[in-house]
Structure 1
Amino acid sequence: MTQSRRMLVLRAVVEDYIRSQEPIGSSSLTKTHDLGVSSATIRNDMAALEDEGYLIQPHTSAGRVPTEKGYRYFVDRLATVMPLSTAQRNGIATFLSGSVSLQDTLQRAARLLSQITGQMAVVASPALSKATVRHVEIVPVGVNVLLAVIITDTGRVAQHTLTVRRMPGADDLSVCCDAINRQCSGLSFSKAAERVRSIAGAGLPHAVVALSESLASVFEGMADDERANELYMAGASHLAQQPSMTDMAPLFDALEEQVVLMRLMSTLSEEADRDGVGVAIGSETHTPGLMNVSVVTSGYGRSAAPADASVREERREPPEHVSGTVGKGAISGSSEDVGADHDEPDAGRDRSDGASPQEGAGEPVAFIGSIGPTHMDYAATIAAVRAVAKYLTLSIASGDSMRSDPAL
């Protein structure tokens, strides 16, 4: 019982410090939490937690504040992630539904997440390497030049010029496009390249065969594109306003290194369970400039997940308890493990949020995340990141963000 109570004291310290950002003493815990023991007992528990590395005392006469280890324990056993209010959910849907392109959708999502959390938001555009073919149009634009307009399942619209020695006739071009769309829709770009070449070998006119070979080469180039292409950021000024961020230069240097940031957030989102959220706290980011911040991220646009299942899930009232992976641990659907022995991190862990798992759900095509101080409100940030990620997934699945954008 002593160990269970001690971890309840740790949770209380973390909650109060997140709220006040002031060192927490035993007397204040006695007033704000019903722990059922005296202030002296709580003081002894806090001293033990300090010895175990969960808390630290900034000054001899001051209260205590959580360490990275304390935050990690708290996040791994976060029992209740408060769902967003109906007004907030409706606001997200309304704000994102007004977008005119995928780029606009992602920019709006970054601004929205930053506004909800009061922290910096980062949204990556979907990588072509993880997309599939939705539709292809090929139109003549010159004597020997064709324009291939390729629309992906993630809403990207890519345009490529194809130079041919002989222009296919209108009928041949129409037959070729119909065959490509019929046989390549839903395929990855590498598979689509193979399929296009097989179509070209089906006794079509020479001009169509040459065109198909050029298009197959374009598909192969898109399949090799491993970059997330662009990062959309909003709210960097929120970090500058944090009193704990005394030296901002390393942080902003780290944010400028977009490749490093993309690798970190992409890895966190991919390692999370289905519909999960990944959290890296301070040194867990393995990035010098991010040692004083936490990163909360989730994947979006899981193209292999059935769209109707996603829609059904989003239309449900959000559960009181939300489940998903959080960094090294999980957001549990039960509060029973809050006081569990910390030597058994998976004891009593319920990873279900009451919804049926999405059959065949694939890896995310991109990520969305929030960057804030280590004393951030983890429950609120996790809820916001999950909600906006879900709306992005729905937007892509329904095609709402699929607009022709010359910039792409």
Structure 2
Amino acid sequence: MLDERKASILRAVVEEYIKTAQPVGSGHVVDAPGVSVSSATVRNEMAALETEGFLAQPHTSAGRIPTEKGYRYFVDALAQPSLDRGSAQQVRAFFDRAHGEIEQMLADTTRLLTGLTDYAAVVVGPPNDAGKVRSVQLVSLTPRVALLVAVLANGVVEKRTVELAEDTDEAVLLRAVNALSPAAIGEPFAVLSLVAPSHDPAVEAVLGRVRSVVGQGGADEGDHVFVNGASRISASFEAVETVRSVLTILEQQLVVVSLLRDVVDRGLNVAIGSETGMQPLADCALVVAPYTVDGERVGTVGVLGPTRMNYPQALAAVAVVGQRLGHRLSEG
């Protein structure tokens, strides 16, 4: 723990460096809230903070910059951050008009987060087996092709094309839906592959095809990952190799999912530098928040930026967007 004066000086250095990306000298700190001491005393305290590992001096004659340890102390000491009124209104308006299929909503949510924070945004959607079936329908496309549509409690809409062996009218499809619904509603989507046989031969012909297409799975099984604002990374780092490494990670869906899941599972909402567990992200910070649907954690939202990110803004944006997204999906 730091005493109050050292903590105030460290906070002033972090806040100034976040704004300017330039090493911070004592002159920028002496008038900061909670400091109220001479420049000489500030210099002595900054030297002590450097010795203790909270600050670093990139050049002998330069000011100080925060270390990973300094950022961590700053983040842990933050009060509960909140969005400014304009940003809060923007989030509220977005979710008031957010309707339609979940994939589009999640993609739009990443754009919202990027706009609020100016960092790369990531949203991991609910896995296909996370939601229970709310409703199921069979829609006739042609006499021999029907579309199976299941709306899940987590907002996912599952669709499967069902090719039929013979011409089938809508009355038969309706009887098939009546057979599917009691077994499926309130259960995972995969249970449709196990629905009991029907004594009606025409209906059983449809159910057999439904079991088959659901059992085969969809082309997009697995976690759905949406990324926006990757180009913002380029403006955050001077080293081309750093930019290239970070962009490569953002392009790898499995890596992104594992990264966010690991951070959340460790009970963190901010991972700074080495805390991400990935060497290419040594100069990055990740702010994450899980979101829940009907009380069950089903996905994660987050932003990725430089370690000198605006943590209060990022934490507030990710927390509010994650909460509102969960509420919107729970409403269906």
Verify the 8 A CA contact 2:264 2:289 in the aligned structure 1: yes
1:89 counterpart residue number = 88
Structure 1 partner of 2:187 = 187
Percent pairwise identity? 34
With over 3 angstroms needed to count, the CA separation of the structure-2 counterparts of 1:148 and 1:395, relative to structure 1, is same
2:317 aligned residue (384, 393, 401):
384
Q: 1:133-152, aligned counterparts within 5 Å? A: 133-142=133-142, 145-152=145-152
Deviation at 1:387, TM superposition (A): 1.8
Alignment of 1:7-406 (within 5 A): 7-85=7-85, 87-96=86-95, 97=97, 100-142=100-142, 145-163=145-163, 173-190=173-190, 192-193=191-192, 196-197=194-195, 200=196, 204-209=199-204, 211-222=206-217, 227-229=222-224, 231-242=225-236, 244-247=238-241, 248-272=243-267, 278-300=269-291, 302-304=292-294, 361-363=295-297, 365-399=298-332
Q: Select between 134-143 and 49-58 the one with higher mean Cα deviation.
A: 134-143
Is the Cα–Cα contact under 8 Å of residues 81 and 312 in structure 2 kept in the other structure?
yes
**How far is 1:228 from its partner?**
1.5
Displacement after TM superposition at 1:227 (Å):
1.8
Q: Structure 1 residues 144, 14: CA separation in 2 closer, same or farther (over 3 Å shift)?
A: same
Offset at residue 245 of structure 1 (A): 4.5
Residue 89 of structure 1 deviates from its aligned partner by 2.5
Report how many aligned residue pairs link the two structures. 330
User: Cα gap change, 1:101/1:163 in structure 2, threshold over 3 Å: closer, same or farther?
Assistant: closer
Asked if structure 2 preserves the Cα contact closer than 8 Å seen for 1:299 and 1:389, the reply is yes
Gaps of 5+ in 1: 305-360, 400-408
Greater Cα shift, 97-106 or 291-300: 97-106
Distance in 2 separating the partners of 1:27 and 1:178: 76
Compute the TM-score of the two structures, normalised by the length of structure 2: 0.85
In the aligned structure 2, how far is the partner of 1:222 from the partner of 1:89?
39
- CA deviation profile, 1:378-407 (whole Å, cap 9, x unmatched): 0101111122222322322223xxxxxxxx
Structure 2, unmatched stretches of 5+, are: none
Secondary structure of 1:241's counterpart equals helix
Separation in 1, partners of 2:106, 2:2? 48
Q: Tell me the C-alpha RMSD between the 2 structures.
A: 3.0
Give the superposition deviation at 1:14: 1.5
Query: What is the CA–CA distance in structure 2 between the aligned matches of 1:83 and 1:256, rounded to whole Å?
Result: 29
1:7–1:93 CA distance, 2 compared to 1 (3 A): closer
Q: Letter of the aligned partner of 2:317 in structure 1? A: A
Deviations 1:153-207 (A, max 9, x none): 23332222334557778656434423533443232234x348x53xx25x63344
Q: TM-score, normalised by structure 1?
A: 0.70
**Partner SS, residue 150 of structure 2:** strand
Q: Is the 8 A contact 1:189 1:222 kept in 2?
A: no
Distance in 2 (CA, whole Å) between partners of 1:158 and 1:288 is 37
Question: In the aligned structure 2, how far is the partner of 1:297 from the partner of 1:257?
Answer: 18
Higher relative contact order structure (alpha carbons within 8 Å, sequence separation ≥ 6):
1
Partners of 1:128 and 1:367 lie apart in 2 by: 15
Residues 303 and 42 (structure 1), Cα distance of their counterparts in 2 relative to 1, 3 Å cut: same
Which has the larger displacement, 26-35 or 220-229?
Answer: 220-229
Q: Is the 8 A contact 2:140 2:170 kept in 1?
A: no
User: Are the aligned partners of 1:129 and 1:226 in contact in 2 as well (CA < 8 Å)?
Assistant: no
Q: Give the Cα–Cα distance (whole angstroms) in 2 for the partners of residues 299 and 107 of structure 1.
A: 16
Does the Cα contact within 8 Å between 1:193 and 1:217 map onto a contact in 2? no
